[in-house]
C-alpha cells in the first residue's frame, strides 16, 4: 500500500470548525466531536470519508439526526458517511483506551498524565476526522477530568472557560483562533507544575510563557525558559516573525517517540529537551535544549501559520525550520563549531542514507508509512537546501523571499515549490534548475582539479558534478550548486580573485555557481601557485574530490581563513592517515605514526587560538561511523584498530603537552559562558587522549575528576573514559554513578549509553544484562535509544562482531518492540539496512537478520517498509 505524491487530490470536504469534548479517564476516555463541514465547491460531490483507527464508535449523527448502522460504512481505518449536504454538521462519539496505547501516537499516558502526539497521522487514533494537513479548522476543546488526579487541563489556544461539573469532575475550555490541521492538535492533563514568565513582542503583545513538568522536575526548567525567550527575540530580529497568541506552553514528558512537537501554543517535549541543571545535564544537553526549544518555537511560523499541503512536502517545514534553528544556534554559540557539528551529522548519517536502499529525495515521491520519512534527508539535507538558497540569494534577498512566502501563504497549506517560487518572485532569480534538489535523491560528487600557469598568470579550476543512481532514479541531471572558495597564497593570505572578463578582483571567499555537468573557471593575475580552499563553510551537501597532498592539507589546516575548511583539512588528513593504517593492519604490517599529522596536532596544541571549542573539535579524530561511511566493503574492526592505534600513538608523543593543556583548562568553579564551555571541552578532549595510554597515573587523574566533579559535563567525560578501560575503577565508578542517580531517568539514560558504547569485548553481554535491569524499559523510547540504539549505531566494533551476535540481538529487540511501538522499532532497525556496504561475511549475516525480520508474521507497516526496502524487495 504505497501512497504517491503524484496522486494528490484536494479534500472533498473542509472542516470549518471542530468542537471537541474529552471526558478523560483511564481506562476509558470518551471523545465527542462536532465538525462543521463545507463541501469543496471545486470538486464534484463525493462521499465524506473520515479517518479513524482503534476507535470504539458509540454514536454518529448528521445535522442532529443519529444515523443507523446501515447508513454508514465502518472499516478498520475509515468511517464513510456517503455524500453529505454542502454545509452540514457531523457529530461522533467514540471511546478510546489511552492507558493501553503503547505506540505513543494519538492520546496516551506518560507517568500517569495524559498527553498527545498527532503528527503525522495520530489524530485518527483520537477521533474520526479528515486527517490530512490541507484541512485546516478552528478548534475549540473542552477537557473534563477528575480534579484530584488531573488538576491541570491544557489544549491549544487560549483558555476561555473553566468550572466544576455536577458529577465532581472539573473542566476547562480552550479556543484556538488560528485554523490548523489536526496534526497540530494537542491536549495534556495531569498533575503538573509550571514555571512562568512573560515575553513582550515587538508589536507590544504580552505573552504568558509556561513550562509544565512533573513536580519532581520543578527546578529544572530555567534553561528551557531562557532559551525560549532568546528564540522569540531572535525570530523577530532575524526573520521579522512575532508570536501570535496570548500564551505559549511547553510540557515535558518522559515517554516521547521523537524530540518534541510544535502543536499550536502547546508544545509537547521529550523531557530530554527541557530539563537541565548543571549537576544532571552536560554542556551538550544544554545546547540541545536551546536548539530544540527554538526549533519548535520557529515552527509557529514555518509549519503552523504556513503548513504543508501533504506529507510529501514535510521538508517545507522541517528543512526550513532546521535551517532556522541552525542559524539561531550559530548566533548563540560559535558559528564554526555549529557548522562542524551539523556537517559531521550530515556526512556521517545522511550520506549513508542517501547512498543506501532507503535513499529518497528531500521531497519524497512515495511512502508506505509516513513516520519512516522523518529522516536525515528530509530534515538535515532539507536544511542544506534552504542554506544553499540563502547563499545564492544573499541574506537580504533571502529575507525578502521569506517575507513574501509568509505573507503570501499565511493560513494556507502549501508545497516546497510554493516556497521556491516565493523566493524567485521576491528576488527575480531563476531557480528552475535549483528545484532539482527537491526531486533528486543521492549525494552529488564534485570532482575538482586546479592548474596554475605561471607564465599566463592564470589559475584554472575545472569542476565536474555527478550524482550516482539511487533506487528508482537511475539517471540524474546537473544541479544548481553554490560553490564557495578561496585561493590561498604561500603566505597563508587569500589571493584577490578575478575571473576572465571581470573588471575588479574580489578579496577572500567567492561563491561560484555550478549549473552544468562541467565548468572551467579561469582566474587571472595569479602569480604564485595557490592552494585552493574549496567548498568553504561547506556551501553545498556534496562529496568533494580534490587530490590534495598531505602537505597542502597541513598547510590549509594551519592557514585557511575559513574556519570550517581549516577543520576539514585536518579531518581529511587524519582520515587519510587512518586509511593507510587500516591497510597496514589488514596486511599485517607494523603500524607507524604519521609524522606530518603528529606535527600538525602538536602545532594545534602549542598555538591554541582563541576559540577553545574549535580547537577541541580540531583535535577530534573522525569517528568510526564517519570512516565507515568513507569506505567500501567496510571492516569495522580494521577501522577501530587503526583509529585506536592513532589515538594511542598521538597521546604517547603528545603526553606532556596534553597534560599541560588538561591542567591549564581546569577551572576552579563551574560557569556556563561560551568561553568556559570551550575550556571544559578542550580539557576533556585532552583527558580522552590521555586515557588511551592505559596508564595508572592518568587513570587516577580521571577518577579524581569523576569524584570531584560538581557538574555533569566533567563527571560524564571522566566516566565515559573509564567505561572504555577494563580496570576495577570502572566498575566502582559505574556503580557509584548508578547509586547516586538511579531516580533520575535522564541521567540513567547516560549511564546506559556509556556502557552500550564501550568497546570492551564483553559489551554485548553487558547490554543484554542491562535489558533486564530496572533502569531499562522497552516501552520508553529514550531507554531503547540509550541502550539498544546506542549499541547498534554508536559502537560499530561490538555491534558488528564477526559472529553476527550483535545483529541477532538487534533483530530480536526490533521484533519484541514492534507490537508495542512500531515507529521506534522501525528506527531501531536502520543500522541493518546498510548491509550491502560491509565486507562479505558481515553482509550475509546482516541480510540474514533482515530476512528473518521480514518473514515474521504481523509485522507493522513501519518495520515492513524498512526491512523490505533494505532487501531491495520493497
Ligand atoms: N514536527 C516534529 C519536529 O520536527 C517532529 C514530530 C515527528 N513525529 C513523528 N511521529 N513522526 O519538531
Ligand atoms: Zn520540526
> What are the two backbone dihedrals, phi and then psi, of residue 560, each rounded to the nearest 5 degrees?
-55, 135
State the pLDDT at residue 608.
86
Mean pLDDT of the chain: 98
Residue 280: which of 683, 721, 749, 681 has the closest Cα? 749
Nearest Cα residue to 672 out of 659, 681, 662: 681
- pLDDT digit string (tens) for 121-169? 999 999 999 999 999 999 999 999 999 999 999 999 999 999 999 999 9
As a whole number of angstroms, the distance between CA 572 and CA 236 comes to 39
- Among residues 23, 91, 296, 865, the one annotated as catalytic is 296
Q: Please tell me the distance from the alpha carbon of residue 86 to that of residue 30, in angstroms, as a whole number.
A: 29
Other CB atoms closer than 10 Å to residue 528's CB: what's the count? 13
Task: Report whether residue 374 contacts ligand 1, using a CB cutoff of 6 Å.
Answer: yes
Q: Whose CA is nearest to atom 1 of ligand 1?
A: 261
Instruction: Check: CB of residue 357 under 8 Å from CB of residue 471.
Output: yes
Contact 755, 734 (CB under 8 A): yes
122 CA: nearest ligand 1 atom: 10
Q: What share of the chain is helix, strand, coil (3-state, %, to 5)?
A: 45, 20, 35
Q: What atom in ligand 1 is closest to the CA of residue 371?
A: 11
CA of 305 to the centre of ligand 2 (A): 14
Residue for cell digits 534548475?
A: 433
Nearest CA to 568 out of 512, 626, 611 is that of: 626
Residue 120, ligand 1, Cβ within 6 A: yes
Proportion of the chain above pLDDT 90, given as a percent: 99
Residues 266-287 pLDDT 10s: 999 999 999 999 999 999 999 9
Mean pLDDT on 526-551: 98
In angstroms, the CA 132 to CA 11 distance is 9
Give the residue from 756, 663, 679 showing the smallest Cα distance to 711: 679
Q: Using a 6 Å cutoff on CB, does residue 119 contact ligand 1?
A: yes
Per-residue pLDDT averaged across 348-360, rounded?
Answer: 98
- Torsion-angle region of 285 (φ positive above 0: left; ψ -120 to 50: alpha; else: beta): alpha
Ligand 1 in contact with 261 (CB < 6 A)? yes
pLDDT of residue 797 exceeding 80, the answer is yes
Which ipTM was obtained for this model? 0.98
Ligand 1 site, residue 121, Cβ cutoff 6 A: no
Q: Is the CB of residue 614 less than 8 Å from the CB of residue 570?
A: no
CA dist list (Å): 479 to 323, 385, 439, 514: 20, 11, 11, 7
Ligand in closest contact with the CA of 184? 1
Question: For residue 610, what pLDDT is reported?
Answer: 82
d(CA 671, CA 744): 23
Q: Give the Å distance between the CA of 255 and the centre of ligand 1.
A: 14
H/E element holding 636?
helix 636-664
- For 259-269, give one letter per residue: b (16+ CB within 10 A) or e: ebbbbbbbbbb
pLDDT at 874 exceeding the cut of 80: no
Q: 487: pLDDT confidence band, cut at 50, 70 and 90?
A: very high
pLDDT in tens, 63-105: 999 999 999 999 999 999 999 999 999 999 999 999 999 999 9
Q: For residue range 618-647, what is the model confidence (pLDDT) as tens digits?
A: 999 999 999 999 999 999 999 999 999 999
Which DSSP state fits 379? I
Q: Is 624 a catalytic residue?
A: no
- Among candidates 434, 517, 411, which has minimal Cα distance to 177? 411
CB distance 260 to ligand 1 below 6 Å? yes
Give residue for cell 580496570: 727
Pocket test for ligand 1, best of 133, 250, 258 (most atoms within 8 A of CB): 258
For ligand 1, atom 5, name the residue with the nearest CA.
Answer: 261
Please answer whether residues 370 and 318 qualify as being in contact, where contact means their C-beta atoms are separated by less than 8 angstroms. Answer: no
User: Which residues pair with residue 35 across a beta bridge?
Assistant: 18, 90
Q: What is the pLDDT of residue 684?
A: 98
Dig out the grid coordinates for 442 from the structure.
Answer: 543521492
pLDDT at 630: 96
What is the C-alpha to C-alpha distance for residues 746 and 280, in angstroms, rounded to an integer?
A: 8
CA-nearest residue for atom 2, ligand 1, is 261
How far apart CA 231 and CA 745 sit, in angstroms, is 27
Q: Are 196 and 209 in contact (CB under 8 A)?
A: yes
Cβ neighbours of residue 780 closer than 8 Å, sequence gap 6 or more: 254, 255, 745
* CA-based nearest residue to 208, from 250, 145, 163, 252: 250
Tell me if 296 CB under 6 Å of ligand 1: yes
CA of 61 to the centre of ligand 2 (A): 37
| Start-to-end C-alpha separation, the chain | 11
Query: CA-to-CA distance for 293 and 316, rounded, in angstroms?
Result: 19
Residue 723's alpha-carbon distances to 252, 530, 756, 761, in angstroms, are: 30, 46, 10, 12
Residues counted in the chain: 874
State how far the Cα of 119 lies from the Cα of 183, in Å rounded to an integer.
5
pLDDT in tens, 813-836: 999 999 999 999 999 999 999 999
The kind and range of the H/E element at 785 are none
| Beta carbon of 318 within 6 Å of any ligand 1 atom | yes
**Residue 71 CA, ligand 1 centroid: distance in Å:** 37
Q: What is the largest CA-CA distance in the chain?
A: 95
By the 8 A CB rule, do 340 and 617 touch?
yes
SS3 state at 592? coil
Cis peptide, bond prior to residue 387, ω within 30 of zero: no
CA distance 534 to 509: 10
Q: Whose CA is nearest to atom 3 of ligand 1?
A: 261
The whole-angstrom separation of Cα 547 and Cα 490 is 18
Q: How many CB atoms lie within 10 A of CB 42?
A: 7
Give me the pLDDT at residue 873, please: 86
Give pLDDT tens digits for 707-743. Answer: 999 999 999 999 999 999 999 999 999 999 999 999 9
Task: Report pLDDT for 263.
Answer: 99
- pLDDT category at 779 given cuts 50, 70, 90 is very high
Which atom from ligand 1 is nearest to the alpha carbon of 823? 10
The 3-state DSSP class for residue 819 equals: coil
327 lines ligand 1 (CB under 6 A): no
Best mutation site among 105, 108, 118, 119 for ligand 1 pocket (most ligand atoms within 8 Å of CB): 119
> Which of 250, 261, 269 has most ligand 1 atoms within 8 Å of its beta carbon, as the pocket-test mutant?
261
Instruction: Specify the pLDDT at position 609.
Output: 85
Amino acid at each position: 500500500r504505497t501512497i504517491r505524491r503524484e496522486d494528490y487530490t484536494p479534500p472533498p470536504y473542509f472542516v470549518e470548525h471542530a468542537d471537541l469534548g474529552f471526558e478523560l479517564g483511564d481506562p476509558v476516555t470518551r471523545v465527542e466531536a462536532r465538525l462543521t463541514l463545507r463541501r469543496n465547491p471545486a470538486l464534484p460531490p463525493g462521499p465524506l470519508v473520515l479517518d479513524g483507527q482503534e476507535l470504539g464508535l458509540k454514536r454518529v449523527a448528521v445535522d442532529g439526526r443519529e444515523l443507523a448502522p446501515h447508513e454508514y460504512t465502518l472499516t478498520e481505518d475509515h468511517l464513510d458517511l456517503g455524500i453529505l449536504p454542502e454545509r452540514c454538521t457531523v457529530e461522533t462519539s467514540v471511546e478510546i483506551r489511552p492507558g493501553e496505547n503503547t505506540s505513543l501516537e494519538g492520546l496516551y499516558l506518560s507517568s500517569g498524565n495524559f498527553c498527545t502526539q498527532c503528527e503525522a497521522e495520530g489524530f485518527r487514533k483520537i477521533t474520526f476526522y479528515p486527517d490530512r494537513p490541507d484541512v485546516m479548522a478552528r478548534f475549540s476543546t473542552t477537557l473534563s477530568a477528575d480534579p484530584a488526579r488531573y488538576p491541570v487541563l491544557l489544549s491549544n489556544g487560549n483558555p476561555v472557560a473553566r468550572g466544576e461539573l455536577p458529577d465532581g469532575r472539573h473542566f476547562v475550555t480552550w479556543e484556538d483562533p488560528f485554523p490548523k490541521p489536526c496534526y497540530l492538535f494537542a491536549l495534556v492533563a495531569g498533575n503538573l507544575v509550571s514555571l512562568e514568565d512573560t515575553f513582550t513582542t515587538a508589536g507590544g503583545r504580552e505573552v504568558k510563557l509556561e513550562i509544565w513538568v512533573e513536580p519532581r522536575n520543578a527546578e529544572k526548567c530555567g534553561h528551557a525558559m531562557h532559551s525560549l525567550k532568546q528564540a522569540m527575540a531572535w525570530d523577530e530580529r532575524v526573520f521579522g516573525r512575532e508570536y501570535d497568541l496570548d500564551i505559549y506552553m511547553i510540557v515535558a514528558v518522559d515517554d516521547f517517540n521523537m524530540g518534541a512537537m510544535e502543536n499550536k501554543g502547546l508544545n509537547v517535549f521529550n523531557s530530554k529537551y527541557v530539563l537541565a541543571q548543571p549537576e544532571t545535564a552536560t554542556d551538550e544537553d544544554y545546547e540541545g535544549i536551546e536548539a530544540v526549544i527554538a526549533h519548535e518555537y520557529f515552527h509557529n511560523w514555518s509549519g503552523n501559520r504556513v503548513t504543508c499541503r501533504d506529507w510529501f512536502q514535510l521538508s517545507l517545514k522541517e528543512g526550513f525550520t532546521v535551517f532556522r534553528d541552525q542559524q539561531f544556534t550559530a548566533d548563540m554559540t560559535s558559528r564554526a563549531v555549529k557548522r562542524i557539528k551539523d556537517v559531521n551529522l550530515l556526512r556521517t548519517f545522511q550520506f549513508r542514507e542517501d547512498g543506501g536502499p532507503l535513499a529518497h529525495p528531500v521531497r519524497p515521491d512515495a511512502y508506505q508509512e509516513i513516520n519512516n520519512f522523518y529522516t536525515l534527508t528530509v530534515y538535515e539535507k532539507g536544511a542544506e537546501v534552504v542554506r544553499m538558497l540563502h547563499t545564492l540569494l544573499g541574506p537580504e534577498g533571502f529575507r525578502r523571499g521569506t517575507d513574501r512566502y509568509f505573507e503570501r501563504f499565511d493560513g494556507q497549506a502549501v508545497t516546497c515549490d510554493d516556497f521556491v517560487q516565493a523566493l524567485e518572485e521576491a528576488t527575480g532569480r531563476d531557480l528552475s534548475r535549483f528545484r532539482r534538489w527537491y526531486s533528486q535523491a543521492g549525494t552529488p560528487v564534485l570532482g575538482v582539479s586546479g592548474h596554475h600557469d605561471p607564465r599566463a598568470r592564470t589559475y584554472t579550476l575545472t569542476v565536474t558534478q555527478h550524482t550516482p543512481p539511487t533506487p528508482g532514479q537511475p539517471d540524474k541531471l546537473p544541479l544548481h550548486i553554490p560553490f564557495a572558495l578561496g585561493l590561498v597564497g604561500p603566505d597563508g593570505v587569500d589571493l584577490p580573485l578575478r575571473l576572465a572578463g571581470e573588471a575588479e578582483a574580489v578579496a577572500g571567499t567567492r561563491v561560484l555557481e555550478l549549473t552544468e555537468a562541467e565548468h572551467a573557471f579561469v582566474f587571472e593575475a595569479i602569480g604564485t601557485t595557490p592552494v585552493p580552499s574549496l567548498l568553504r563553510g561547506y556551501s553545498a551537501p556534496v562529496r568533494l574530490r580534490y587530490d590534495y597532498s598531505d602537505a597542502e592539507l597541513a598547510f590549509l589546516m594551519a592557514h585557511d581563513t575559513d574556519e570550517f575548511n581549516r577543520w576539514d583539512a585536518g579531518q581529511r588528513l587524519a582520515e587519510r592517515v587512518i586509511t593507510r593504517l587500516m591497510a597496514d593492519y589488514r596486511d599485517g604490517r607494523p603500524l607507524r605514526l604519521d609524522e606530518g599529522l603528529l606535527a600538525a596536532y602538536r602545532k594545534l596544541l602549542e598555538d591554541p587560538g582563541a576559540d577553545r571549542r574549535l580547537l577541541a573539535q580540531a583535535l577530534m579524530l573522525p569517528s568510526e561511523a564517519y570512516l565507515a561511511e568513507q569506505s567500501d566493503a567496510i571492516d569495522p574492526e580494521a577501522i577501530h584498530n587503526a583509529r585506536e592505534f592513532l589515538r594511542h600513538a598521538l597521546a604517547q608523543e603528545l603526553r606532556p603537552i596534553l597534560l599541560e593543556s588538561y591542567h591549564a583548562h581546569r577551572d576552579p568553579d563551574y560557569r556556563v559562558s561560551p568561553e568556559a564551555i570551550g575550556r571544559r571541552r578542550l580539557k576533556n578532549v585532552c583527558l580522552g587522549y590521555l586515557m588511551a595510554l592505559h596508564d595508572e597515573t592518568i587513570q587516577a587523574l580521571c577518577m579524581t575528576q569523576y569524584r570531584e566533579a560538581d557538574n555533569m559535563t566533567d563527571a560524564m567525560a571522566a566516566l565515559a573514559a573509564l567505561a572504555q578501560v577494563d580496570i576495577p575503577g570502572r566498575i566502582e565508578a559505574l556503580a557509584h554513578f548508578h547509586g547516586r542517580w538511579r531516580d533520575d531517568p535522564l541521567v540513567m539514560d547516560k549511564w546506559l549509553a556509556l556502557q552500550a558504547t564501550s568497546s570492551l569485548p564483553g559489551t554485548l553481554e553487558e547490554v543484554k544484562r542491562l535489558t533486564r535491569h530496572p533502569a531499562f524499559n522497552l516501552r520508553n523510547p529514550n531507554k531503547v535509544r540509550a541502550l539498544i540504539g546506542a549499541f547498534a549505531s554508536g559502537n560499530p566494533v561490538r555491534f558488528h562482531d564477526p559472529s553476527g551476535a550483535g545483529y541477532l540481538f538487534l533483530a530480536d529487540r526490533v521484533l519484541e518492540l514492534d507490537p508495542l511501538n512500531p515507529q521506534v522499532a522501525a528506527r531501531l532497525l536502520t543500522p541493518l539496512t546498510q548491509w550491502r556496504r560491509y565486507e562479505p561475511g558481515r553482509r550475509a549475516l546482516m541480510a540474514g537478520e533482515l530476512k528473518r525480520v521480514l518473514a515474521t508474521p504481523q509485522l507493522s507497516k513501519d518495520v515492513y517498509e524498512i526491512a523490505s526496502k533494505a532487501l531491495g524487495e520493497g
